[in-house]
Amino acid sequence: MVDDKRKFRNALGHFATGVAVITTRFDEKEPIGITVNSFSSVSLEPPLILWSLDDKSDTLPIFNAVNRFTVNILREGHQGISNRLARQGDHSLEGLPLRAGVNGCPALEDALAHFECDVYARHEAGDHIIILGKVTHFEYSEDGRPLLYHRGGYQGLATGTP
Ligand SMILES: Cc1cc2nc3c(=O)[nH]c(=O)nc-3n(C[C@H](O)[C@H](O)[C@H](O)COP(=O)(O)O)c2cc1C
């Protein structure tokens, strides 16, 4: 039985991931962004991705209300953006270089890749909700390296082959 949450989190942290910021805008309100590493590809046909959101997040009412969002894959050197958009109750994008995506959601100008999505489904899963997105538009950079996250810290991609 998994009764030690801290140890469970530590064990999960052994799975290295990229880091993404999910951006969206509800009505005419200020756009927001939240840092996540739960992003995953799901399906090619239809093109689906997912990420999961803590059901205690201040952003939950917004992500329950919107029909669209954008996944911004962070690149090396984006630790500052990642930390800033992981601050509790402070998900403003003010001052960050943004552009409007095709879907009307703001996108981080310098991200390694963007996936613009329509909300395809939301599933309650324990203390998180899984948000599935149907990709309506995507872009990526041919060069650049990703920001990685492993055991609670940021990492870069190793160079060379093993
Ligand atoms: C690298 C990293 C990955 C994270 N991944 C997730 C995630 O997948 N889902 C999530 O709900 N929060 C994740 N968080 C936490 C949120 O970014 C944020 O800290 C938290 O939601 C703040 O509380 P609030 O949403 O109530 O403002 C992550 C934080 C960091 C730094």
* Residues 127-136: tens digit of each pLDDT: 999 999 999 9
- Average pLDDT value over all residues in the chain: 95
Q: Which among 35, 52, 63, 84 is the best mutation to test ligand 1's pocket, defined by most ligand atoms within 8 Å of the CB?
A: 35
Q: Tell me the pLDDT tens digit for each residue of 12-32.
A: 999 999 999 999 999 888 999
Instruction: Give this prediction's pTM.
Output: 0.96
Is 25 among the domain residues?
Answer: yes
Is 94 among the domain residues?
Answer: yes
pLDDT of residue 28: 83
For tokens 């590809």, the residue is 41
CB 74 within 8 A of CB 21: yes
> CA quadruple 60, 62, 66, 72: dihedral positive or negative?
negative
- In the reported structure, the alpha carbon of residue 36 is separated from the centroid of ligand 1 by a whole-number distance in angstroms of 5
Is 6 among the domain residues?
Answer: no
Domain count, the chain: 1
Is 91 among the domain residues?
Answer: yes
Is 2 among the domain residues?
Answer: no
| For ligand 1, atom 2: residue with the closest CA | 36
1, pLDDT greater than 70: no
How far apart are alpha carbons 23 and 127 in whole angstroms?
A: 21
Is 156 among the domain residues?
Answer: no
Range of the domain at 52: 17-151
CATH number for the domain harbouring residue 44: 2.30.110.10
